[in-house]
Amino acid sequence: MNTPATALEFRDVSYRIADNRILDRLSFRLEPGRTLVLLGRSGSGKTTALKMLNGLLEPTSGQVFVGERATGDWDLIELRRSIGYVIQEVGLFPHFTIGENVALVPRLKGWPAARIQSRVAELLHQVGLDPGNFLHRYPRQLSGGQRQRVGVARALAAEPKLLLFDEPFGALDPVTRLELQDQFLELRERLSITSIFVTHDVREALRLGTEIALLHRGRLEILATAADFLKSTGEEARAFLSTL
């Protein structure tokens, strides 16, 4: 099997709502297995960019490629089932047990029941939750940190090619956040799935990103490795680095 050299690409992507430019001619590409952090202030367009990858939003102009294909050429249902998605509010289904929540995408993809069952147990282990204890509980019975672990397990369930994280740890206390960041790094070591991670926390960006893209008012200010980002002299980059 030959892996494509590009996992995803933004080609001159703009997004406008009325006269408001949310994204302004964004272009970059990412190699497979890397973690790109989209860093920026609120309203910089980072979440908008993320949502274009799984077709929750469509570019006003330009193209977004996932694998070899532009998102417009994908069957959106198929595309989304091949992408893991984790958001700050987690969005677990309150009427599904933890097990059913994690099993969602495999079930939608029609995996056999036995395979789903073993996959769910394996995933809960991976994110540090004992399946015996958690499988049959409901989301409301879990703490915020536990819920977000379930959210990560759900995103990983159907062996996605791409993982999208939208400020997933933003609502957690600092200690839990650190734990989940460690877990993310550990999972990346093991699974090496291409990931996009949205955050406004420069510490988190430096810890998790193999590269960092800084967005400012819908434009890409810089795209650099974590080491190079630290040396960056741009005004917005300095503003972020000054918070360290």
DSSP 8-state secondary structure symbol assigned to residue 73? G
Nearer to other proteins, 48 or 211 (CB): 48
Q: Which of 186, 173, 219, 224 shows the shortest CA–CA distance to 27?
A: 219
Q: Is 110 in the site for other proteins (CB under 8 A)?
A: no
Taking CA atoms, 145 is separated from 114, 117, 152, in Å, by 28, 23, 11
Q: Which tokens in the block code for residue 197?
A: 């991670």
Q: Pick out residues in 172-231 that bind other proteins (CB under 8 A).
A: none
Q: Is 108 in the site for other proteins (CB under 8 A)?
A: yes
Instruction: For residue 169, count other CB atoms closer than 10 A to its CB.
Output: 26
For the chain, counts of helices (H) and of strands (E):
11, 10
Main-chain phi, psi angles of 95, to 5 degrees: -95, 5
User: Minimum CB separation from other proteins for residue 73, in Å?
Assistant: 17
User: Minimum CB separation from other proteins for residue 174, in Å?
Assistant: 23
Nearer to other proteins, 161 or 203 (CB): 161
Q: Which of 205, 202, 230, 236 shows the shortest CA–CA distance to 218?
A: 236
Q: Pick out residues in 143-172 that bind other proteins (CB under 8 A).
A: 154
How far apart CA 54 and CA 76 sit, in angstroms, is: 7
Nearer to other proteins, 166 or 221 (CB): 166
User: Minimum CB separation from other proteins for residue 90, in Å?
Assistant: 7
User: Minimum CB separation from other proteins for residue 241, in Å?
Assistant: 31
Length of the chain (residues): 244
Nearer to other proteins, 51 or 177 (CB): 51
Q: Pick out residues in 59-98 that bind other proteins (CB under 8 A).
A: 76-81, 83, 85, 87, 89-95
User: Minimum CB separation from other proteins for residue 3, in Å?
Assistant: 22
Query: What character string, x for contact with other proteins (CB under 8 A) and - otherwise, covers 16-45?
Result: ------------------------------
Q: Which of 26, 36, 9 shows the shortest CA–CA distance to 60?
A: 26
Q: Which residues bind other proteins (CB under 8 A)?
A: 54, 56, 76-81, 83, 85, 87, 89-95, 104-105, 108, 138, 140, 154
